[in-house]
């Protein structure tokens, strides 16, 4: 009984993860493609998945470079071990409404939706696809429905779909510049 009490006490010390503590970025033009992120310790650092039709398709993570504070993303293959192959690495460029978050002077900022564009994703995703079709017959020149949807979504904005995205996922436009 004493051990059970101690165990319950210890479990109470660890913060629980709420189901709504996930930032969801939804493609504006292909809403079946989403990015689901869980925040890590640092500002702008997160891990999660790039999903198609609510099924994880790739691992997705964000980070911040030292120095000028460039926000970046990394997309890699889903894998149970550490042998994940990076598919795409590039800028995670933040917008508030139609304004670029890092370059808009404070006096010109207007409130708006948090949005992200990944300008390097379409090219690097396309060239990661094999020239030779895989065992299912899909490749760079005969793309599967998943490949097509991710490729088309990658050239467009992803918009923050829930309030959780305002809690440290964005390093520049964090709160949508609410007034």
pLDDT digit string, tens, across residues 115-152: 999 998 999 999 999 889 988 999 999 999 999 999 99
Res 28: pLDDT: 94
In a domain? residue 11: no
Res 76: pLDDT: 92
Can you tell me the mean pLDDT for 162-178? Answer: 69
Which ranges in 110-166 belong to alpha helices (H)? 121-128, 145-153
Of the candidate ranges 38-42, 55-59, 123-127, 172-176, the one whose mean pLDDT is the lowest: 172-176
In a domain? residue 6: no
**What is the side-by-side order of every strand in the sheet holding 46-52?**
86-91, 71-77, 55-64, 46-52, 33-39, 23-27, 158-160, 114-117, 93-96, 99-100
φ and ψ of 93, to 5 deg: -95, 120
- Are residues 77 and 128 in contact, defined by beta-carbon separation less than 8 angstroms? no
Angle 123-126-58 (CA atoms, 0-180°, nearest 5)?
105
In a domain? residue 52: yes
In a domain? residue 71: yes
Q: What is the DSSP letter of 108?
A: G
In a domain? residue 176: no
In a domain? residue 171: no
In a domain? residue 1: no
In which domain, by residue range, is 115 found? 20-166
Res 7: pLDDT: 40
Q: Report the C-alpha dihedral over residues 165, 54, 76, 149, rounded to 10 degrees.
A: -100
pLDDT digit string, tens, across residues 1-34: 554 444 444 444 333 334 458 999 999 999 999 9
Res 151: pLDDT: 93
In a domain? residue 15: no
Q: How confident is the model at residue 40 (pLDDT cuts 50, 70, 90)?
A: confident
As a whole number of angstroms, the distance between CA 75 and CA 134 comes to 20
Res 176: pLDDT: 54
How many structural domains compose the chain? 1
The residue ranking higher by pLDDT, 15 or 42, is 42
As a whole number of angstroms, the distance between CA 70 and CA 43 comes to 12
Report CA 15 to chain centroid distance, whole Å. 23
Q: Report the C-alpha dihedral over residues 148, 79, 20, 92, rounded to 10 degrees.
A: -60
Which ranges in 45-144 belong to alpha helices (H)? 121-128
pLDDT digit string, tens, across residues 60-116: 999 888 766 688 999 999 876 666 788 999 998 888 888 888 778 878 878 888 899
Can you tell me the mean pLDDT for 39-62? Answer: 90
């Amino acid at each position: 009984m004493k051990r059970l009490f101690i165990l319950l006490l210890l479990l109470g010390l660890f913060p629980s993860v709420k189901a709504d503590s996930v930032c969801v970025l939804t493609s504006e033009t292909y809403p079946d493609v989403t990015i689901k992120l869980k925040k890590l310790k640092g500002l702008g650092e997160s891990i999660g998945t790039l999903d198609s039709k609510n099924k994880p398709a790739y691992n997705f993570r964000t980070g911040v470079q030292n120095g000028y504070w460039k926000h970046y993303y990394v997309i890699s293959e889903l894998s149970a071990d550490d042998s994940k192959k990076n598919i795409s690495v590039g800028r995670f460029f933040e917008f508030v409404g139609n304004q670029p978050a890092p370059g808009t002077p404070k006096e010109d900022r207007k409130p708006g939706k948090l949005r992200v564009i990944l300008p390097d994703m379409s090219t690097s995703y396309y060239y990661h696809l094999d020239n030779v079709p895989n065992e299912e017959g899909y490749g760079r020149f005969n793309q599967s429905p998943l490949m097509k949807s991710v490729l088309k979504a990658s050239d467009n904005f992803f918009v923050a779909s829930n309030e959780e995205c305002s809690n440290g996922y964005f390093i520049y436009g964090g709160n949508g510049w609410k007034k």
